[in-house]
């Protein structure tokens, strides 16, 4: 059954901001309406060259790409600038005068091709006066300890089409750089480092076809002692331009050897720092919680040290995940995912030669897939149901997925794991080694093949143990059971204990425990016939110790009321047919 978002993520949908981001048309069709210009309106004349361009917001569009040109669809002024979700843009150096300007807005999407809208246009006014001076120059006026390798930047002056820059060590001085035309740019990088620990005067003079700004004052800053600036860094995770980034990712960037720290800013447009503003980090990673889905983010990282911060570092971008999460739930403070939770085991054991043995999924999900992995890691699909038949050992992949619908799009959220299949079989008992210790027995069970077996004594239902050894068990016949732990079968064997030689016990234990306390002839079980008339018992020196009749309980191991020591003793039995039988036995205490 296909699921809706509100079934699986009620906590997330209770958050208004997330609700709007998630359900406001994430998945857009090609029929999406393009935005109209708001300022200047399409066809407007006499537009100021420093105008800010704005357009309608469009529900469900995660971002906009802007191009400006002097022909329809052209980009000779600005080539495909991604402005994120912003709905306005101000050209940094203004627009050319008396020119029809064409703006082409492209709708940016994560999961379908972008939509290029028809161009709209307006015409700029002619310049009527010289530009005013730039109001801000960087490094800032009266700044101290500025790195000698700094570049110099300034803000745009309205109606300027170019700029002269001069640099000196005195007010309005030109000792370092005579007035130089840098065209319509807003920065200048001196060809050599500035002198150390020196007052540096910078004069920026905007100009246009009418003339130059008059009497622009110098800005002054003081350079620091000689030092080496750090180089710029770049993102490791996510990579520049990466899409489908988690909503709560760990941001990681390359370390710069001589950097003391890193100044990081993140925004939803190239001109904003509304997510993270100039945060200082002394490591090369940080966890970010609760990015909005379906947004492009712009990140700037400037390494710094005692000499200052890196110069000219470029901005990088990434886009957040669509679909399965994880999503940050501000109510619970937890990350929520739509992928099924897996309880499937790491190892499965199947029984040899059991063709009906099926492996079944252990989880609730809308669908399943099973794959076989070969030695090179290649996958072969075995089944697309909740069951799979596997008859050989190896590595396999188990995948469970749920199906969701949102904005007329169906997609899967899947979880998978690799598991190992082992083959087991019914055990076969090869031998039960019996060791007699005192009046107790010890067993050691061996099987024809090694397996994942467990062992029990006298009861097929157990209890079972992992060890194949049993110790200190009674002197009598016992049955041993060997069971395969995977349920592939149980083997059993009766261990018959032969304690006699021709009916004469080979030991006895007169310790008063009621077991084997007397030594006596035992008639054969198969006949039950007592063919012995009398038995004589001797010590190792041949001295007669006792005379035993076969119809008595037997010899107690005593002589004249005193217990004899552990040792070997001899017997002579006279059969009813006058045949003499001789042998020996052990007395154990």
The pLDDT tens digits of the residues spanning 419-431 come to: 999 888 889 999 9
Confidence band, pLDDT 50/70/90 cuts, at residue 284: very high
In this structure, the answer to whether residues 516 and 572 fall within a common structural domain is: yes
Residue 327 lies in a domain: no
Q: Pick the residue with more confidence: 582 or 103?
A: 103
Q: Under 8 Å CB-to-CB from 559, ≥6 apart: which residues? A: 545, 546
Which two structure tokens, joined as six digits, stand for 329? 């739930």
pLDDT number for residue 111:
65
pLDDT number for residue 1:
40
Q: What is the pTM of this model?
A: 0.46
Residue 404 in contact with residue 434, Cβ under 8 Å? no
Strands of the sheet containing 469-474, edge to edge, are 429-437, 440-447, 469-474
Q: What are phi and psi of 16, to 5 degrees?
A: -55, -45
Strands of the sheet containing 544-548, edge to edge, are 507-508, 580-587, 567-575, 532-538, 544-548
Residue 471 lies in a domain: yes
Which two structure tokens, joined as six digits, stand for 87? 């709905």
In this structure, the answer to whether residues 487 and 507 fall within a common structural domain is: no
Confidence band, pLDDT 50/70/90 cuts, at residue 23: very low
Q: Pick the residue with more confidence: 6 or 487?
A: 487
Summarize pLDDT for 74-114 with one digit per residue, the tens.
Answer: 999 999 998 988 999 999 899 999 999 999 999 988 767 88
pLDDT number for residue 13:
28
pLDDT number for residue 331:
60
Exposure of 500 in the CB half-sphere (CA atoms within 13 A): 13
Residue 16 lies in a domain: no
Q: Pick the residue with more confidence: 529 or 385?
A: 385
DSSP 72: T
**What is the C-alpha to C-alpha distance for residues 268 and 256, in angstroms, rounded to an integer?**
26
Residue 179 lies in a domain: yes
Lowest mean pLDDT of 277-281, 292-296, 337-341, 548-552, name the range. Answer: 292-296
Percent of all residues in the chain with a pLDDT value above 70, rounded to a whole number: 88
What is the mean pLDDT of the segment spanning 165-187? 94
Contacts made by residues 313-316, CB under 8 angstroms, sequence distance 24+: 313/232, 313/233, 314/232, 315/270, 316/234, 316/235, 316/240, 316/241
**What is the C-alpha to C-alpha distance for residues 4 and 435, in angstroms, rounded to an integer?**
69
What is the mean pLDDT of the segment spanning 20-49? 70
Residue 441 lies in a domain: yes
Q: Return the C-alpha torsion angle 182, 187, 193, 199, nearest 10.
A: 100
Residue 77 in contact with residue 119, Cβ under 8 Å? no
**What is the C-alpha to C-alpha distance for residues 366 and 389, in angstroms, rounded to an integer?**
20
Percent of all residues in the chain with a pLDDT value above 90, rounded to a whole number: 57
In this structure, the answer to whether residues 437 and 455 fall within a common structural domain is: yes
| Whether residue 44 has pLDDT greater than 90 | yes
pLDDT number for residue 228:
81
Would you call 107 helix, strand, or coil by DSSP?
A: strand
Would you call 222 helix, strand, or coil by DSSP?
A: strand
What is the mean pLDDT of the segment spanning 388-402? 92
Please give the tally of structural domains in the chain.
6
What is the mean pLDDT of the segment spanning 194-200? 94
* Pairing, β 316-320 against β 296-305: antiparallel
Q: Pick the residue with more confidence: 329 or 92?
A: 92
What is the mean pLDDT of the segment spanning 468-487? 88
pLDDT number for residue 299:
96
Q: Tokens 């995770």, residue?
A: 237
Choosing from 67, 90, 123, the residue where a domain stops is 123
In this structure, the answer to whether residues 467 and 441 fall within a common structural domain is: yes
In this structure, the answer to whether residues 160 and 119 fall within a common structural domain is: no
Residue 387 lies in a domain: yes
DSSP 555: B
**What is the C-alpha to C-alpha distance for residues 585 and 555, in angstroms, rounded to an integer?**
12
**What is the C-alpha to C-alpha distance for residues 44 and 36, in angstroms, rounded to an integer?**
13
| Whether residue 12 has pLDDT greater than 80 | no
**What is the C-alpha to C-alpha distance for residues 266 and 444, in angstroms, rounded to an integer?**
70
| Whether residue 519 has pLDDT greater than 60 | yes
- Find the CATH number of the domain harbouring 436: 2.60.40
Burial of 15 (0-12, 13-18, 19+ CB in 10 A): middle
Summarize pLDDT for 107-160 with one digit per residue, the tens.
Answer: 988 767 889 999 999 999 999 999 999 989 999 999 998 888 889 999 999 899
Which residue segment(s) compose the domain that 436 sits in? 429-495
**What is the C-alpha to C-alpha distance for residues 481 and 459, in angstroms, rounded to an integer?**
8
In this structure, the answer to whether residues 405 and 462 fall within a common structural domain is: no
pLDDT number for residue 334:
64
In this structure, the answer to whether residues 507 and 487 fall within a common structural domain is: no
Q: Could you tell me which of 299, 275, 288 has the C-alpha nearest to residue 248?
A: 288
Choosing from 419, 449, 482, the residue where a domain stops is 419
Residue 263 lies in a domain: yes
Residue 276 lies in a domain: yes
As a three-state string, the secondary structure of 358-396 is CEECCCCCCEEEEEEECCCCCEEEEECCCEECCCCCEEE
- What value does the CA radius of gyration of the chain take, rounded to a whole number of Å? 47
Choosing from 190, 223, 256, the residue where a domain stops is 223
pLDDT number for residue 488:
86
In this structure, the answer to whether residues 397 and 449 fall within a common structural domain is: no
| Whether residue 5 has pLDDT greater than 50 | no
């Amino acid at each position: 059954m296909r699921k809706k978002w509100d079934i699986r993520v009620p906590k997330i949908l209770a958050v208004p901001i997330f609700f709007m981001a998630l359900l406001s048309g994430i998945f857009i069709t090609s029929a999406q309406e393009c935005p109209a210009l708001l300022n200047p309106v399409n066809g407007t004349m006499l537009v100021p060259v420093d105008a800010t361009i704005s357009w309608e917001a469009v529900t469900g569009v995660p971002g906009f790409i802007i191009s400006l040109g002097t022909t329809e669809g052209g980009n000779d002024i600005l080539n495909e600038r991604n402005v994120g979700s912003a709905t306005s843009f101000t050209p940094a150096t203004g627009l050319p005068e008396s020119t029809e300007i064409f703006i082409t807005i492209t709708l940016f999407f994560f999961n379908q091709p972008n939509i290029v809208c028809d161009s709209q246009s307006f015409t700029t006014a002619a310049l009527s006066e010289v530009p005013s001076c730039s109001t801000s120059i960087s490094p800032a006026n009266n700044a101290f300890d500025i790195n000698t390798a700094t570049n110099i930047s300034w803000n745009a002056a309205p109606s300027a089409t170019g700029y002269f820059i001069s640099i000196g060590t005195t007010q309005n001085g030109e000792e370092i750089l005579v007035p130089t035309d840098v065209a319509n740019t807003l920065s200048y990088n001196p060809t050599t480092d500035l002198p150390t620990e020196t007052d540096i005067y910078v004069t920026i003079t905007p100009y246009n076809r009418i003339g130059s700004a008059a009497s622009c004052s110098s800005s002054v800053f003081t350079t620091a002692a000689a030092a080496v600036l750090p180089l710029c860094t770049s993102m490791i995770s996510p990579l520049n331009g990466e899409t489908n980034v988690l909503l709560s990712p760990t941001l990681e960037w390359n370390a710069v050897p001589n950097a003391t720290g890193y100044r990081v800013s993140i925004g939803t447009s190239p001109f904003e720092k509304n997510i993270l503003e100039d945060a200082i980090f002394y490591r090369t990673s940080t966890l970010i919680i609760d990015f909005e889905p379906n947004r492009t983010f712009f990140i700037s990282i400037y390494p710094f040290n005692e000499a200052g911060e890196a110069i000219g570092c470029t901005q990088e971008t990434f886009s957040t995940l669509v679909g399965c999460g994880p999503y940050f739930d501000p109510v619970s403070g937890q990350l929520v995912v739509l992928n099924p939770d897996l309880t499937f085991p790491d190892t499965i054991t199947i029984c040899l030669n059991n063709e009906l043995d099926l492996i079944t999924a252990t989880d609730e999900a809308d669908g399943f897939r099973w794959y076989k992995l070969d030695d090179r890691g290649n996958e072969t699909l075995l089944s697309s149901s909740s069951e799979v038949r596997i008859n050989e050992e190896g590595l396999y992949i188990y995948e469970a997925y749920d199906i969701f619908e949102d904005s007329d799009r169906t997609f899967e959220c899947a979880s998978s794991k690799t598991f190992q299949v082992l083959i087991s079989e019914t055990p076969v008992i090869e031998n039960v080694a019996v060791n007699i210790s005192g009046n107790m027995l010890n067993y050691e069970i061996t099987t024809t093949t090694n397996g994942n077996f467990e062992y029990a004594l006298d009861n097929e239902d157990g209890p079972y143990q992992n060890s194949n050894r049993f110790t200190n068990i009674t002197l009598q016949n016992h049955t041993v059971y060997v069971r395969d732990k995977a349920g592939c079968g149980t083997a059993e064997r009766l261990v018959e204990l032969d304690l006699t030689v021709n009916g004469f016990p080979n030991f006895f234990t007169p310790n008063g425990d009621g077991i084997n306390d007397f030594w006596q002839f035992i008639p054969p079980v198969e006949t039950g016939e007592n063919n012995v008339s009398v038995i004589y018992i001797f010590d190792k020196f041949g001295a007669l110790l006792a005379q035993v009749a076969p119809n008595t309980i037997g010899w107690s191991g005593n002589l004249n009321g005193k217990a004899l020591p552990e040792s070997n003793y001899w017997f002579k039995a006279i059969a009813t047919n006058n045949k003499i039988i001789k042998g020996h036995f052990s007395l154990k205490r």
